[in-house]
Amino acid sequence: MNGALLAAATGGAAALGLSLRFNWRRPRRPGTPILMYHQVGEPRSGSALNKWRVREEDFRWQLDALSRRGYRGAALNELLGAPEPPATKTRRVVLTFDDGYRGVKERALPALLARGFSATVFVVADRLGGANDWDAETPGEPLLGADEIRALHGAGIEIGSHGATHRALTSLPDAELTREVAGSKETLEGLTGAPVTSFCYPYGDFDDRVVEAVRAAGYRAATVIRGGISRDLSDPFRLKRIAVRGTHTRLDFLLALTRGRSRL
Ligand SMILES: [Zn+2]
């Protein structure tokens, strides 16, 4: 255990107990960690989706913890554009936000900008300004509208595609798959006037046909849900991520970051 983790563990027995969920001997993983967030905001009473809601204060602590360890939060297209960090002492962590919730602009963006961080937000191209109607929760979480997405883009946040309607892609016929993958790219490029090069498979559902559709549409990278850290960028359409959950303790977060393992 290094000093930083030891400091994080001084919460006492409770923290030590939590740490037992992880294999301490699991080695540090090479490669750039890619964190998967969804909503930044308060949990809702009794909601099954709370695991995907990270409180704003926890989010700010996580960003500060990254800063203290020499990490800078980056967008996925920065990683693809320059696989080695620009300065040797800089460590990068890619921050991604799935679904495009309005709370990301209201609560995550100020915290990111204050620290000089960037990130990638994967939005559902045909649901802008709507709600997450693919989840069984009423009322739904408000999604970013077109103007808000332009504002995020203008602030240096990468806009990626999470499909047109958040459907599982492997079961779709070719024409609908193309509409979800290539159609959403076209919609979002029309919105921001910039290339959309990053894709995120809804539900982490992909197979070789879906990967090929994403590649053929002109994307450069795609992320999955499966936990871990991809060692390098040799398979850029199956980039692993580390899920950051609203139930994570600080220790969980630090261990997931370095060990590439997140509790599901
Ligand atoms: Zn999603």
Domain boundaries, the chain: 3-259
Place of tokens 């699991």: 26
Give distance in angstroms: CA of 200 to centre of ligand 1.
8
pLDDT band at 28 (very low <50, low <70, confident <90, very high): low
Q: Cα(105)–Cα(90) distance, rounded to whole angstroms?
A: 26
Read off the pTM. Answer: 0.88
In the reported structure, the alpha carbon of residue 71 is separated from the centroid of ligand 1 by a whole-number distance in angstroms of: 26
CA-to-CA distance for 108 and 128, rounded, in angstroms?
18
Say which residue, 223 or 255, is predicted with more confidence: 223
Torsion sign (Cα): 82, 192, 72, 51: negative
Task: Name the 3-class secondary structure at 207.
Answer: coil
Q: How many angstroms separate the alpha carbon of residue 162 from the centre of ligand 1?
A: 7
CA–centroid distance, residue 174 to ligand 1 (Å): 21
Q: Looking at the predicted structure, is the pLDDT value of residue 1 above 50?
A: no
The residue ranges of DSSP E strands in the chain, in sequence order, are 34-37, 39-40, 53-54, 71-74, 91-99, 120-123, 158-161, 198-200, 221-227, 239-243
* Integer CA distances (angstroms), 144 to 52, 101, 182, in order: 17, 6, 20
Q: Name the pLDDT band for 93 (thresholds 50, 70, 90).
A: very high
**Above 90 in pLDDT, residue 19?**
no
Look at 99 and 91; give whichever has higher pLDDT.
99
CA of 4 to the centre of ligand 1 (A): 33
The residue to which tokens 């990053």 are assigned: 198
Distances in Å between the Cα of 22 and the Cα atoms of 19, 66, 255, 259 are 6, 20, 8, 9
How remote is the CA of residue 250 from the centroid of ligand 1, in Å? 24
The CA 43 to ligand 1 mean position distance, Å, reads 18
User: 204: CA distance to ligand 1 center in Å?
Assistant: 8
Q: Is the dihedral of CA 128, 130, 132, 133 positive or negative?
A: negative
**199 Cα: distance to centroid of ligand 1 (angstroms):** 11
Higher pLDDT, 192 or 16: 192
The answer to whether 152 touches 159, Cβ cutoff 8 Å, is yes
Supply the mean pLDDT for the chain: 89
Cβ-based burial of 224 (10 A; exposed 0-12, middle 13-18, buried ≥19): buried
Q: Ligand 1 centroid to 31 CA: how many Å? A: 24
Q: Output the CA 207–ligand 1 centroid distance in Å.
A: 17
Distance 23 CA to ligand 1 centre (A): 29
Condensed to tens digits (0 to 9), the pLDDT of residues 200-235 reads: 999 999 999 999 999 999 999 999 998 788 888 999
Confidence of residue 138 (pLDDT cuts 50, 70, 90): confident
Kindly indicate the confidence band of residue 166, based on its pLDDT and cuts at 50, 70 and 90.
very high
CATH number of 3-259: 3.20.20.370
